Structure 1
């Protein structure tokens, strides 16, 4: 019987493979983190179906959400596929499609406006513009680097990610604000959102600045992270256009099923829809 053991060399080779496949930095970081967590949990034991089942049970005992567990299993399956260990593939937890989002994680338009107001009051011009850019275009935080002076001049940005190129349009008002900010920072070309040392803003820096703003804006930290601004864009775009196919193209989704996840309404909205049916006398 073949014995499968995970090693640091194999994990590193998988990371290099993900880079070669041009996966996003966020995906690579997550897959590395999840596979390393499984490796530590194994403590040198071989990979078996029984161990994988025990890993799932352990994650459930730690009160991870089913969707989170499935995302961690997806990272493992990617590793096993890379290594040719097809018989080790993990089975996902069966999760019924959610009818509504957790209100504690849903960022509303009112809360978004409060975040902008708080950042302006604190003189955080870059953060204001960054939040507006993500929310007005629906880009991923890893795609912020494609917002350049040239893109603002042209009113469009070409984004290269996951082996695909997609073009997004930038609202005219946003372009004017981006160019005004770039001129103030003496940035004549290239990326607009830079650190004081002229380096690209990292995902961690952006996340940290947003989280620190929560107390001043009176918004729950659980609602404030870059990807939630992308969710807010998707919700507002769909309400205005009712075109999920076009929204999928704008967001860069290969599957409309992925886009549907972004359009799940809050529990409060779901309750209002039920009440409007008028089926209780």
Structure 2
């Protein structure tokens, strides 16, 4: 077996800004051709820059040192993201004789920060009563379809008309987001009342498309206004609610995995678990000695 390849410019010399810029441009094109999402591309480019800010060469020894340093400073999820970035970069450079192993994540026996069904119903009612229709439909769409918030802001009027939205992810995979008929009808009534027959589904008061950061910020505002736990008032919490409700109502876990766009059904298995709050209630109900 040959010596593992090293990516460097001049021996024992730090990579120059110009050389790094050229490598990152090549890496960006490689990721775009392989249909990685814009968020992933940005994160991977940042991760590679962070590595070369510390080391002049990308080789097996430096990668191991970098990983050890990351493990002392960051959570395992962040470490693994940086490792995925470097592994993808190695692949783009046609270096296949070594790969940086990920950090093993200790899986929780529960899921946390999921809005309860009672709080979700309360939130919906308050939003409707206060005529906060845009956010009423935002939380309903996530909780009734399992859509990611980044996908939610891309929905348009015609998606509601046909009752679904087809999304295309890396590897040319297609995933369909179904809109329940009851939600579809209510949403069309709302759009008709607003005189809207085209364009983005969710717009701000200024008529601009809603942003992910805008939605996150406003949900925290509603948490304060309606005295709800801020920990569960974030977009992904409603996606968790969708998955929990789907399983609890007899839905098939393989179908749920497809609906959520998970790469592996193992990721979806977490929704078979109870939340930490549900575990505590069950524990106190059972243990009375």
Q: Using structure 1 for the length normalisation, give the TM-score.
A: 0.81
Could you say which residue in structure 1 is the equivalent of 2:11? none
Specify every segment of 5 or more residues in structure 2 that has no aligned partner in the other structure, as ranges. Answer: 9-14
> Contact between 1:70 and 1:93, CA under 8 Å: does it hold in 2?
yes
Matches within 5 A, 1:10-21: 10-21=23-34
Could you say which residue in structure 2 is the equivalent of 1:26? 39
Secondary structure, counterpart of 2:228 in structure 1: coil
| Distance in 2, Cα, partners of 1:251 & 1:191 | 22
1:210 deviation in Å? 2.2
Residue in structure 1 matching 2:156, options 142, 145, 148: 148
Structure 1 residues 115 and 73 mapped into 2: Cα distance closer, same or farther (>3 Å)?
Answer: farther
Could you say which residue in structure 2 is the equivalent of 1:228? 237
Structure 1 residues 109 and 50 mapped into 2: Cα distance closer, same or farther (>3 Å)?
Answer: farther
Specify every segment of 5 or more residues in structure 1 that has no aligned partner in the other structure, as ranges. Answer: none
> Contact between 2:247 and 2:271, CA under 8 Å: does it hold in 1?
no
1:134 deviation in Å? 1.0
Residue in structure 1 matching 2:56, options 39, 42, 45: 45
Secondary structure, counterpart of 1:241 in structure 2: coil
Could you say which residue in structure 2 is the equivalent of 1:171? 180
The answer as to 2:127 corresponding to 1:78 is no
| Distance in 2, Cα, partners of 1:86 & 1:241 | 44
Residue in structure 1 matching 2:219, options 204, 210, 213: 210
> Contact between 1:149 and 1:191, CA under 8 Å: does it hold in 2?
yes
Could you say which residue in structure 2 is the equivalent of 1:2? 6
| Distance in 2, Cα, partners of 1:161 & 1:3 | 30
| Distance in 1, Cα, partners of 2:69 & 2:237 | 28
Structure 1 residues 84 and 243 mapped into 2: Cα distance closer, same or farther (>3 Å)?
Answer: same
Secondary structure, counterpart of 1:126 in structure 2: helix
> Contact between 2:109 and 2:273, CA under 8 Å: does it hold in 1?
yes
| Distance in 2, Cα, partners of 1:57 & 1:220 | 36
Q: Using structure 2 for the length normalisation, give the TM-score.
A: 0.79
| Distance in 1, Cα, partners of 2:86 & 2:127 | 39
Greater Rg, structure 1 or structure 2?
Answer: 2
| Distance in 2, Cα, partners of 1:257 & 1:272 | 26
Could you say which residue in structure 2 is the equivalent of 1:125? 133
Q: Which moved more, 1:145-154 or 1:126-135?
A: 145-154
Structure 1 residues 216 and 277 mapped into 2: Cα distance closer, same or farther (>3 Å)?
Answer: closer
1:195 deviation in Å? 3.8
